Amino acid sequence: MPATDYLIMNAAKYPDDIALVEVNPAIRDQRGKTWRDYELVETPPSERYRREITWRTFNGQANRFAHLLIETGVTKRDTKVAILLMNCLEWLPIYFGVLKAGAVAVPLNYRYTADEIKYCLELADCEVLIFGPEFIDRIEQIKDSIPQIKRMYYVGEDCPSFARSYNNRVVHFSAEEPNVVISDEDNAAIYFSSGTTGFPKAILHNHLSLMQAGQCEQQHHGQTRDDCFLCIPPLYHTGAKIHWFGSLISGSKGVILRGVRPDWILRTVSEEHCTLVWLLVPWAQDILDAIDDGKINLDDYRLEQWRLMHIGAQPVPPSLVRRWKKQFPNHAYDNNYGLSEGMGPGSIHLGVENFEHLETNGIPGWGWEAEIRREDGSVIEPGSEDVGELCLKGNCVMVEYYNNPEATAESLRDGWLYTGDVAKIDADGFITLVDRAKDVIITGGENLYPVQIESFIRGNDAVKDVAVIGMPDVRLGEIACAIIELKEGHECTQEQMEEFCLDLPRYKRPRRYIFAEVPRNSTGKIDKPGLRERYGAAHLVADETSN
């Protein structure tokens, strides 16, 4: 059943219940008033601390946008509609409006440069673009070089002259259901790979994929009508949206938080009575550090209803989770592995019942099969010390890399998705992601897996974040270099870090340490191509330093 049907059902069953809330804490902090001072109808949406819509309004807004698209020539399956918005209350109704029109939604990364936006619009054959105020300058730079975009809609006040106002136009269309029949096999959305291993590829999914992923999320975390999900990561990515799909299936409230400060997160959990929160590693770490430093007093918040904290999008240090459980002993915990080619989180997950296997990534998720295969295609059996490529099978696997048959043929073979991630499987069937195949460092003939080294270094109390990359070396080919970001107020020298790493096998120890910021993209993944470009070629290590 398509996701749009769940929205229709929720609007019928729970028309006056709150579906979505948007919270913008910066507004309250800047103005020093309560959120109720900004709930007046005459206050522009961009100046309100808190906005909300019911399921009836959510569905009606989606229908209005669907009718607008249909009337202006959007046709089922053929039209791609790009969405370039920061997280906001309009985001999901616009997304569902595209789906209800039978078109294909194409969410864009809000960190893309103008050239990257142009590239993705062309790659996905987009004909319609809807964007927000943060992107006026970038769109203006490319507007004359994207002739395939037939219409541009602007969400916000003060619409630029080269676009049409979404706010002014959509209200004139019907809130009734559009007469478009959608099946599970119809194309639904194009997402873009994160770009951490190269320029983004366009990933095409159908409606079955979206809902299978949503059902997987609901099965893993058991959302009911009484739950409230706090959504912080960007909605353009599969992860945040699919975790929210658990709320869609259960008909429960979702809260979109615009900001990642620890006090903002805890205040929103407290005020909105959130029960499930998905965090990225840096945000969880920032919360714990703020508690340890005395900047946050947990007694100031109402948190007893918060039942689950889960993390995804990146390797999770077990030490971080154990710190979390000391502060929040009643929280269930889950770790989610996924990739956009598999419609986001859940293909491998720890499972709330498997905390004793915290050092692993977990087991295949609901509706998923997983195998680890050697280069010759043979399957690695549980308990083997061998590592291989993680391969996945399930209804969430992409249709194809859009307009890229070569990459599709490389990744999709006999119904299996070859992920490019290196993994191993223990005797109990628990899978551990070792690293990306392209991130493996080969030093003197030995394979080094950066994730393993990074996990060890994060055990140092002074370390906030770390990334390990390969640097060229004239003797060994490559050596491991650790870029280390220290916690605020902490110090650590190279000599101290070298001493700390003596517990690693000699061949795994970094040969170079750089103390600097570790850049991550908006989905929490380390920007290793950027680090390699910044440090790799510029720091060629001489033969005598590699002994």
308-324 per-position pLDDT tens digit? 999 876 678 888 899 99
Q: For residue 443, what are the contacts with CB-CB under 8 A and spacing of at least 6? A: 470, 473, 476, 477, 478, 479, 480, 507
257-275 per-position pLDDT tens digit? 999 999 999 999 999 999 9
Is residue 380 assigned to a domain? Answer: no
Distance CA 369, CA 394 (A): 6
- For residue 290, the model assigns a pLDDT of 94
Return mean pLDDT, the chain: 88
pLDDT bucket at 445, cuts 50 / 70 / 90:
low
340-370 per-position pLDDT tens digit? 899 988 899 999 999 999 999 999 999 999 9
- For residue 366, the model assigns a pLDDT of 94
- For residue 37, the model assigns a pLDDT of 47
C-alpha atoms less than 13 angstroms from C-alpha of 70 in its C-beta half-sphere: 18
Q: pLDDT at residue 38 above 50?
A: no
Higher pLDDT, 193 or 453: 453
Q: pLDDT at residue 47 above 60?
A: yes
Q: pLDDT at residue 128 above 70?
A: yes
Distance CA 531, CA 527 (A): 6
- For residue 541, the model assigns a pLDDT of 39
CATH number for position 481: 3.30.300.30
Distance CA 328, CA 303 (A): 9
492: phi then psi, degrees, rounded to nearest 5: -160, 130
Is residue 36 assigned to a domain? Answer: no
Q: pLDDT at residue 196 above 50?
A: no
- For residue 522, the model assigns a pLDDT of 58
- For residue 95, the model assigns a pLDDT of 98
- For residue 91, the model assigns a pLDDT of 97
Average pLDDT over residues 420-428: 92
Q: pLDDT at residue 207 above 80?
A: yes
Is residue 105 assigned to a domain? Answer: no
The number of distinct structural domains making up the chain is 1
CB atoms within 10 A of CB 403: 15
pLDDT bucket at 433, cuts 50 / 70 / 90:
confident
pLDDT bucket at 474, cuts 50 / 70 / 90:
low
Distance CA 203, CA 205 (A): 7
272-294 per-position pLDDT tens digit? 999 999 998 888 988 999 999 99
- For residue 113, the model assigns a pLDDT of 85
pLDDT bucket at 529, cuts 50 / 70 / 90:
confident
What element of type H or E holds 369? strand 369-373
- Sign of CA pseudo-dihedral 6, 8, 13, 14: positive
- For residue 546, the model assigns a pLDDT of 36
Is residue 490 assigned to a domain? Answer: yes
Burial (Cβ within 10 Å: 0-12, 13-18, ≥19) of residue 415: exposed
Distances (CA, A) of 65 to 110, 176, 454: 21, 11, 46
152-165 per-position pLDDT tens digit? 999 999 999 999 99
Average pLDDT over residues 125-142: 96
pLDDT bucket at 44, cuts 50 / 70 / 90:
low
Tell me the CA end-to-end span of the chain in Å, nearest whole number: 61
pLDDT bucket at 149, cuts 50 / 70 / 90:
very high
Distance CA 334, CA 337 (A): 10
- The one-character DSSP state at 526 is B
Average pLDDT over residues 183-208: 84
Q: For residue 83, what are the contacts with CB-CB under 8 A and spacing of at least 6? A: 91, 94, 95, 98, 105, 106, 107, 108, 130, 236
Q: Are 260 and 232 within 8 A, CB to CB? A: yes
What element of type H or E holds 152? strand 151-154
Is residue 511 assigned to a domain? Answer: yes
Q: What is the dihedral of CA 198, 200, 205, 211, to 10 degrees?
A: 80
Q: In terms of Cα–Cα distance, which of 139, 144, 21 is closest to 87?
A: 21
Is residue 541 assigned to a domain? Answer: yes
CB atoms within 10 A of CB 492: 17
* Percentage of residues of the chain with pLDDT beyond 90: 69
- Sign of CA pseudo-dihedral 149, 150, 154, 160: positive
* Percentage of residues of the chain with pLDDT beyond 70: 90
Q: In terms of Cα–Cα distance, which of 465, 437, 203, 431 is closest to 339?
A: 203
- For residue 194, the model assigns a pLDDT of 62
- For residue 475, the model assigns a pLDDT of 62
pLDDT bucket at 545, cuts 50 / 70 / 90:
very low
Is residue 323 assigned to a domain? Answer: no
- For residue 41, the model assigns a pLDDT of 45
Q: Are 128 and 120 within 8 A, CB to CB? A: no
Residue 480's domain comprises 440-546
Structure pTM?
Answer: 0.83
